[in-house]
Structure 1
Amino acid sequence: MHAVVFAYHDVGVNCLKALIGAGIQIDLVLTHQDDPNENVWFGSVAKLCEDQQIPYLTPTASELTGLIPRIRKLAPDYLFSFYYRHMIPAELLACAKIAALNMHGSLLPKYRGRAPVNWAILHGETQTGATLHIMEVKPDAGDIVGQSAVTIGPDETATDVFGKVSKAAVEVIHQALPELIQGRVPKKPNALSKGSYFGGRKPEDGRIHWEQTAKQVHDLVRAVAPPYPGAFTENQGRKMIVARSTLKGPFPDNLDLGALGIQVVDNRVFGICGDHQVVEILEWFLQPTQ
């Protein structure tokens, strides 16, 4: 079996390794150049390709259509997309003789679109996972090929959960490979009406709104904790990044539960929220100057 792989991030590294380990011939890898403005804390697909002597390219989104003749000539059995960030044109998807398959970081049809792990934590989910599905022009809408679920602990951050999802993605690949290698693609419907589509998140979306419930604030902190941009609030005229929080008491008796926002008692930092409940800030720091 021959494949062309679009890949980035830890999921890209780990799933590409799984394909190589299964004996699939990787004829070409498409990945991204690292963004100098992004905190790159994950593995490098480009380095893996260099180590394995696999040809790779780092095209911009607008350059993808120009690669159609080259990929059509390769005539891959499969196209795989593992956390690749550009939309792959329909003409490229059609180059796969058997199927074009994408790995998504949620239990589809839930949390289609961008930043699925972050959105799941933000919404207080206790479970998410990884889904391999058939790629269509509409994002994350094709039939489901395989899934693996992971739990989300009440204090786990997006980085914690992403590590679990990365392992789940490899499990899904291993489960699917025996049939894929035989040219068979198991399918079940992706019931889109049972989930929702979410867009990307911007640093400004990390602003803490103290009128929300304590759990909502805690979930926001977890969802965007560093190395993501972080939840933030203003205190004494300074912008503070809130890196870690807890809902577990006991809390001091002399907190004013009617005054929303930051209160400091006995060198402990607390946030009073709209439901008159408390979130304790365990770690925060002044936002670095740009």
Structure 2
Amino acid sequence: MKAVVFAYHNVGVRCLKTLLARGVQVNLVVTHPDSPGETLWFDRVADVAAEAGIPVILVDETVDNSIIDRVVALAPDYLFSFYFRRMLPARLLAAARIAALNMHGSLLPRYRGRVPVNWAVLHGETETGATLHVMEIKPDAGDIVAQQAVPILPDDTAKDVFDKVTVAAEMTLWNVLPKLQRGEVPRRANDLAAGSYFGGRKPEDGRIDWAQPAQAIYNLIRAVAPPYPGAFFELQGRRFIVARARLARPDLTAQLPARAAPGLHWAQGQLLAKAGDGGVIHIRELWLAEQPGKPLSAQQLSELARLQP
């Protein structure tokens, strides 16, 4: 079984290793160069390919005709996309003799599109997973080949869930590979009408509105917590990132009077934030945006609460 792999990030690393562990002949790996402006908290596909002696091509934006020509000449049985960040053109998909398959980080047809793990956490889902599906020109629209679900616990951050989805992707691929190696591609319809599609998220989308319900605010904090850009608020012209938080315990919630306004408060040596529905969030770690990774001290937190109008 011959394959060409387009891959990036931890899912790309684990799925490439899974192919190699199953004895798949990977003739070419296409991955992305690392962006100097991005926090690189994940493993590098290029390193895995180099260790295995597989030729590597780096692609930043466009998969150009020279790359497509090279893949066509290799005549792979399968073309795999594992968290590759670019759509693959029709001529490239057609180069696969048996099938072109993509690994997506949700239980399709739900959460098609960009950053599915972050969206799932933001919406308070209790389950997500990984789906291997047939690639079409329309994103995440092809038939489902295999899936693996994972739970989302109430206090899981997007990073926690992404780590689970990475394992789910490895399991999904491992379990279906024997069939793929026999030339069998299990397929069931990907009912788009029963699912959902979401676009990418920008750092500005992490702005906190304390007038929102506490659970919605907490879901936002979890969905974009570091190593993602982080949920933030601004006070006295400075931006603060909520690095760690949780819904406050009842004993902490009781420290705030019912008349307390939405926003920051200092009680029992803790920074609390009251939400619009009366719920309370315990802010356990706060950073200045210009000093990421450096938690504010208890004294700084108490002073900050007093600054809020």
Shorter-chain TM-score: which interval? over 0.9
Q: Does structure 2 retain, via aligned residues, the 8 Å contact 1:257–1:276? A: no
Q: CA deviation at 1:281?
A: 0.7
Q: Does structure 2 retain, via aligned residues, the 8 Å contact 1:65–1:89? A: no
Q: How does 1:118-267 map to 2 (within 5 A)?
A: 118-249=118-249, 250-251=251-252, 252-255=254-257, 257-267=259-269
Q: CA deviation at 1:244?
A: 1.3
Q: CA deviation at 1:257?
A: 4.7
Q: Distance in 1 between matches of 2:114 and 2:264?
A: 31
**1:21 corresponds to which residue?**
21
Once the two structures are superposed, residues 83-105 of structure 1 have per-residue CA deviations (whole angstroms, 9 ceiling, x without a partner) of 00011111100000000000000
Q: Secondary structure at the match of 1:136?
A: coil
**2:279 corresponds to which residue?**
277
Q: Which amino acid is 1:281 matched to? A: I
Q: CA deviation at 1:270?
A: 1.2
Is the alpha carbon distance of 1:257 and 1:163 closer, same or farther for their aligned partners in structure 2, counting shifts above 3 Å? farther
Q: Does structure 1 retain, via aligned residues, the 8 Å contact 2:241–2:287? A: yes
Q: Distance in 2 between matches of 1:208 and 1:272?
A: 12
Q: Distance in 2 between matches of 1:208 and 1:248?
A: 17
Once the two structures are superposed, residues 47-77 of structure 1 have per-residue CA deviations (whole angstroms, 9 ceiling, x without a partner) of 1111111101012332433312111110000
Q: Secondary structure at the match of 1:60?
A: coil
Paired positions, count: 290
Q: Does structure 2 retain, via aligned residues, the 8 Å contact 1:6–1:82? A: yes
**Superposition TM-score, scaled by structure 2 size:** 0.91
**Superposition TM-score, scaled by structure 1 size:** 0.97
Structure 2 gaps, min length 5: 293-309
Structure 1 gaps, min length 5: none
Q: Does structure 2 retain, via aligned residues, the 8 Å contact 1:233–1:240? A: yes
Once the two structures are superposed, residues 162-220 of structure 1 have per-residue CA deviations (whole angstroms, 9 ceiling, x without a partner) of 11000000100011101100001000110111111100111000000111110000111
Q: CA deviation at 1:289?
A: 5.9
Once the two structures are superposed, residues 244-283 of structure 1 have per-residue CA deviations (whole angstroms, 9 ceiling, x without a partner) of 1111412243345551111122331111111111111111
Q: Distance in 1 between matches of 2:268 and 2:147?
A: 48
Once the two structures are superposed, residues 85-129 of structure 1 have per-residue CA deviations (whole angstroms, 9 ceiling, x without a partner) of 011111100000000000000000000000000000000000000
Q: Secondary structure at the match of 2:62?
A: helix
Q: Distance in 2 between matches of 1:79 and 1:177?
A: 13
Is the alpha carbon distance of 1:245 and 1:74 closer, same or farther for their aligned partners in structure 2, counting shifts above 3 Å? same
Q: Distance in 1 between matches of 2:105 and 2:259?
A: 38
Q: Distance in 2 between matches of 1:39 and 1:61?
A: 19
Once the two structures are superposed, residues 117-154 of structure 1 have per-residue CA deviations (whole angstroms, 9 ceiling, x without a partner) of 00000000000000000000000000000000000010
Q: Does structure 2 retain, via aligned residues, the 8 Å contact 1:77–1:96? A: yes
Q: Distance in 1 between matches of 2:222 and 2:211?
A: 18
Q: CA deviation at 1:237?
A: 3.5
Once the two structures are superposed, residues 30-54 of structure 1 have per-residue CA deviations (whole angstroms, 9 ceiling, x without a partner) of 0000111000100100111111111
Q: Which amino acid is 1:197 matched to? A: Y
Q: Which amino acid is 2:268 matched to? A: D
Q: Distance in 2 between matches of 1:129 and 1:254?
A: 39
Q: Distance in 2 between matches of 1:267 and 1:255?
A: 16
Q: Distance in 1 between matches of 2:21 and 2:256?
A: 60
Range with bigger deviation, 104-113 or 254-263? 254-263
Percent of aligned positions that are identical: 56
Q: Distance in 2 between matches of 1:257 and 1:172?
A: 51
Q: Secondary structure at the match of 1:61?
A: coil
Q: Distance in 1 between matches of 2:63 and 2:90?
A: 14
